[in-house]
Amino acid sequence: MDMTCFQSLLDAYGADPGRWPAGERAAAEALLAADPTAQAARREALALDAALDLLPHPPVPADLAARIAAAAPMRTPRPANNNRPWPMALALAASAALGLWLGVAAGPWAGDATAGDFASLDRQEVAMLAFGPTLDEE
Amino acid sequence: MQRTQSADDTDDTLIRKLAAGDRTAFPTLLERHLPVIHRLAWRLLGEQTEAEDVAQEAFLRLWNFAPDWRDQGASPRTWLYRVAFNLCQDRLRRRRVVFMETVPEVPTDPADSPSAALQDKQRSAKVQAALDALPERQRAALVLSYYEGLSQAEAAAILEIGEEALESLLARGRRKLRELLAAEGRELLGGLG
| Model confidence pLDDT, tens digit, residues B124-139 | 888 988 998 999 899 9
- Structural domain including A46 reads 3-52
Share of chain B above pLDDT 70, in %: 80
Q: Which of B51-60, B110-119, B181-190 has the highest mean pLDDT?
A: B51-60
Residues of B in contact with A84 (CB under 8 A): 68
Please tell me the distance in Å from B17's CA to the nearest CA on chain A: 12
Comparing C-alpha atoms, which of B114, B173, B120, B119 is closest to residue B143? B173
Contact between residue A95 and residue A130 where contact means Cβ atoms under 8 Å apart:
yes
In a 13 Å sphere around the CA of A36, the CA atoms on its Cβ side amount to 0
Residues 6+ apart with CB under 8 A from B119: none
Query: Which of residues B44, B73, B98 is at a domain's end?
Result: B98
Confidence grade of residue B41 (pLDDT, cut at 50, 70, 90)? very high
ipTM above 0.90, yes or no: no
A window 44-103, beta carbon within 8 A of B:
44, 46-48, 50-52, 54-58, 60-61, 64-65, 67-69, 71-73, 75, 77-80, 82-84
Residues 6+ apart with CB under 8 A from A68: B30, B34, B55, B56, B59, B60
- The pLDDT score that the predictor gives to residue B65 is 87
- Residue B2 inside a domain? The answer is no
Comparing C-alpha atoms, which of B47, B58, B52 is closest to residue B87? B58
pLDDT tens sequence across A111-131:
554 444 545 555 555 455 445
Confidence grade of residue A19 (pLDDT, cut at 50, 70, 90)? very high
Q: Where are the alpha helices (DSSP H) in A1-62?
A: 3-13, 22-34, 36-52
Residue A72: pLDDT over 50? yes
pLDDT tens sequence across B138-163:
999 999 999 999 999 999 999 999 99
B window 12-51, beta carbon within 8 A of A:
19, 23, 26-27, 30-31, 34-35, 38-39, 42-43, 48, 51
In the chain, the amino acid numbered B143 is: V
pTM of the model: 0.70
- Find the length of chain A: 138
Query: Which of the pair, B56 or A101, is modelled with greater confidence?
Result: B56
**CB distance B35–A8 less than 8 Å?**
no
pLDDT tens sequence across B65-123:
888 887 777 788 999 999 999 999 999 888 765 555 555 555 555 555 557 677 777 88
- Virtual torsion, Cα A21, A26, A27, A29, nearest 10 deg: 100
- Residue B193 inside a domain? The answer is no
Backbone angles phi, psi at B166, to 5 degrees: -60, -45
Whether residues B82 and B134 fall in one domain: no
pLDDT tens sequence across A79-98:
555 445 555 566 667 777 77
Burial of A68 (0-12, 13-18, 19+ CB in 10 A): buried
Whether residues B125 and B141 fall in one domain: yes
- The pLDDT score that the predictor gives to residue B192 is 42
Query: Which of residues B47, B64, B98 is at a domain's end?
Result: B98
Whether residues B23 and B64 fall in one domain: yes
d(CA A128, CA A99): 11
d(CA B150, CA B141): 10
Query: Which of the pair, A62 or B108, is modelled with greater confidence?
Result: A62
Query: Which of the pair, A2 or A102, is modelled with greater confidence?
Result: A2
Tally of domains in chain B: 2
